Amino acid sequence: MSKTSIISLRKIKKIYKLGEREIEVLKDINLEVEKGEFLAIMGVSGSGKSTLLNIIGLMDKPTEGEYFLMGRKIAHLDDDHLSELRNAYVGFVFQQFYLIEYLNALENVVLPLLYSHKSVSHLQKKALNLLEKVGLKERYKSKPSQLSGGEQQRVAIARALINEPEIILADEPTGQLDTETALEIMDIFSKLNAEGKTVVMVTHDPNMAAKAKRITKMKDGRIVD
Ligand SMILES: Nc1ncnc2c1ncn2[C@@H]1O[C@H](COP(=O)(O)OP(=O)(O)OP(=O)(O)O)[C@@H](O)[C@H]1O
Ligand SMILES: [Mg+2]
Would you give per-residue pLDDT tens digits along the chain (225 residues)? Answer: 556 799 999 999 999 999 999 999 999 999 999 999 999 999 999 999 999 999 999 999 999 999 999 999 998 889 999 999 999 999 999 999 999 999 999 999 999 888 788 888 999 999 999 999 999 999 999 999 999 999 999 999 999 999 999 999 999 999 999 999 999 999 999 999 999 999 999 999 999 999 999 999 999 999 998
Q: How far is CA 66 from the centre of its chain?
A: 20
Query: Residue 105 has what pLDDT?
Result: 98
Quick check: is 112 in a domain? yes
- Whose atoms come closest to the Cα of 59: which ligand? 1
pLDDT of residue 41: 98
CA–CA dist 135, 79 (Å, integer): 35
Q: What is the C-alpha separation between 60 and 53, in angstroms, rounded?
A: 9
Q: Please indicate, yes or no, if residue 4 is contained in any of the structural domains.
A: no
| Alpha-carbon span 169 to 174, nearest angstrom | 13
User: Residue 20: inside a domain, yes or no?
Assistant: no
Q: Domain for residue 10, yes or no?
A: no
CA atoms within 13 A on the CB side of 55: 27
Question: Does 11 map to a domain?
Answer: no
Domain count, the chain: 1
Question: Which residue spans within 52-172 are E strands per DSSP?
Answer: 64-69, 72-73, 90-94, 167-171
Can you say whether residue 4 is alpha, beta or left, with left for phi > 0 and alpha for psi between -120 and 50 degrees?
A: alpha
Q: What is the pLDDT of residue 75?
A: 84
CA-proximal residue: ligand 1, atom 8 (nearest): 51
**Vertex 64 angle, CA 221 and 29, to 5°:** 35
For residue 139, how far is its CA from the centre of ligand 1 (angstroms)? 35
| Residue 209 forms part of a structural domain | yes
Ligand 2 centroid–CA 124 distance in Å is 32
Atom of ligand 1 at shortest distance to CA of 221? 14
In sequence order, the β-bridge partners of residue 72 are: 69
Dist. CA 209–CA 2, nearest whole Å:
24
Structural domain span for residue 47: 35-61+82-219
Do the domain assignments include residue 75?
no
Domain CATH code at residue 184:
3.40.50.300
Residue 7 falls inside a structural domain: no
